[in-house]
């Protein structure tokens, strides 16, 4: 558990190259509310010198590939792109790597789409174009994101024309912790590792959701009770009846099981649908309704995961006492739980 105000600078004697041996987080930043907690990281809101808002992501070093982090992080710190969340500072301790990142406050992409009054393929194409631009920047520098999914896509601010930002890449997270299905590409599921082509698969799944409101490779309208064969792509009626052939063509290209058959980010940026030449302008009312249901399911899963994470903070002895009726939940002090918004972690 991270205590507020605890120095998180690199301890003396630790010669790691990711952080500074003489600087400490608490000297410049004040940790605030907990924004999210995942299997590999925890994210807090923080203030730089008590004024400028930032996000502080604390990653467990036990799940990081040290060589990959050391080779990628220095370059990622230097990346500046309008659709990538900036890494502004790095600190290191014996068991954690802390990233101070640009603050984004516009909310998740899918949630904002579901809340707006009008949504068309043109809006979806604009979103995909921005995501591709971020991926093209990463891939051109030899990096892959490895964790692309809707929760990683947020708006910089609440302004109407705010750009979409892609949250930080996987940063060397072990291949034992792949992106969750169906966003994890077939080759990554088979242990071949995730690279730029795997990001294109994840983008294909995201684009599919943007166009119909539910995930591919499941039953109609995302029903888990009607599973399809793995990677058997189809466009079920009536949800896809009004989607353009050009949009279907892009999704089909991105969701090729052979990574060599998928377009690169640079190639996909030239697709007529992505360029804005062919997307339809009609309101997609059915998609918006489906997205609202999809977001509700995601929130339910996130809430369930938060309960599980909270239970892990309770000692085995206290859990046993609860079962035996020796201690009531009111008699023990619960952990302080903050808003656990997906996409912040």
Half-sphere exposure of 50 (CA within 13 A, CB side): 1
Residue 181 clears pLDDT 80, i.e. is over it: no
Q: pLDDT higher for 152 or 19?
A: 152
Would you state the pLDDT for residue 102? 96
Q: Span 333-343, mean pLDDT?
A: 33
Q: Span 156-183, mean pLDDT?
A: 78
Q: SS3 string of 142-183?
A: CCCCCCCCHHHEEECCCCCCCCEEECCCCCCECCCCCCCCCC
What is the gyration radius of the CA atoms in the chain, in angstroms? Answer: 21
Q: pLDDT tens across 17-68, in order?
A: 454 455 789 899 999 999 988 777 899 999 998 789 999 999 988 888 888 8
Q: Span 270-283, mean pLDDT?
A: 98
Q: pLDDT tens across 188-224, in order?
A: 888 777 899 999 999 999 999 999 999 998 755 554 4
For residue 200 the two structure tokens come to 């294109």
Paired strand residues for 91: 98
Q: pLDDT higher for 341 or 247?
A: 247
Would you state the pLDDT for residue 153? 97
Would you state the pLDDT for residue 131? 98
Residue 258 clears pLDDT 90, i.e. is over it: yes
Would you state the pLDDT for residue 306? 53
How many whole angstroms separate alpha carbon 293 and alpha carbon 213? 8
Least trusted range by pLDDT, from 97-106, 302-311, 335-344: 335-344
> How many percent of the chain have pLDDT more than 90?
58
For residue 129 the two structure tokens come to 């174009």
Cα–Cα distances (Å) from 283 to 106, 118, 211, 265, 290, in that order, read 22, 6, 11, 27, 14
Mention every residue, 6+ apart, whose C-beta is less than 8 A from residue 27. 7, 9
Give 11's pLDDT tier (boundaries 50, 70, 90).
very low
Q: Span 80-108, mean pLDDT?
A: 94
The whole-model pTM stands at 0.79
> How many percent of the chain have pLDDT more than 70?
74
Residue 318 clears pLDDT 50, i.e. is over it: yes
Least trusted range by pLDDT, from 14-23, 47-56, 138-147, 259-268: 14-23
51 is in an annotated binding site: no
Residue 2 clears pLDDT 50, i.e. is over it: no
């Amino acid at each position: 558990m991270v205590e507020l105000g605890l120095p998180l600078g690199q301890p003396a004697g630790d010669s790691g190259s990711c952080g500074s041996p003489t600087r400490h987080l608490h000297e410049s930043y004040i940790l605030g509310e907990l924004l999210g907690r995942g299997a590999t990281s925890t994210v807090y809101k923080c203030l730089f010198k008590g004024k400028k808002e930032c996000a502080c992501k604390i990653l467990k070093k036990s799940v990081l590939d040290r060589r990959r982090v050391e080779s990628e992080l220095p370059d990622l710190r230097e990346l500046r792109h309008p659709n990538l969340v900036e890494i502004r500072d790095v600190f290191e301790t014996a068991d954690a790597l802390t990233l101070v990142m640009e603050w984004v406050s516009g909310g998740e992409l899918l949630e904002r789409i579901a809340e707006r009054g009008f949504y068309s393929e043109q809006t979806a194409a604009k979103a995909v174009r921005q995501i591709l631009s971020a991926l093209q920047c990463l891939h051109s520098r030899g990096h892959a994101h490895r964790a692309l999914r809707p929760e990683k896509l947020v708006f910089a601010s609440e302004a109407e024309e705010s750009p979409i930002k892609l949250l930080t890449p996987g940063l060397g997270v072990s291949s034992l912790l792949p992106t969750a299905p169906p966003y994890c590409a077939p080759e990554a599921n088979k242990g071949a590792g995730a690279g730029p082509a795997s990001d294109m698969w994840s983008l294909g799944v995201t684009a599919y959701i943007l166009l119909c409101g539910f995930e591919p490779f499941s039953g109609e309208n995302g029903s888990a009770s009607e599973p399809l064969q793995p990677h058997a792509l189809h466009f079920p009626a009536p949800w896809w009846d009004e989607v353009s052939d050009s949009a279907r063509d892009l999704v089909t290209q991105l969701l090729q099981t052979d990574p060599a058959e998928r377009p690169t980010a640079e190639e996909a940026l030239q697709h007529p649908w992505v360029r804005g030449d062919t997307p339809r302008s009609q309101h997609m009312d059915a998609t918006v309704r489906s997205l609202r249901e999809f977001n509700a399911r995601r929130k339910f899963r996130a809430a369930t995961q938060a309960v599980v994470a909270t239970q892990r903070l309770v000692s085995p002895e206290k859990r046993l006492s609860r079962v035996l009726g020796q201690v009531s939940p009111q008699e023990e002090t619960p952990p302080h739980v903050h808003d656990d918004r997906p996409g912040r972690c």
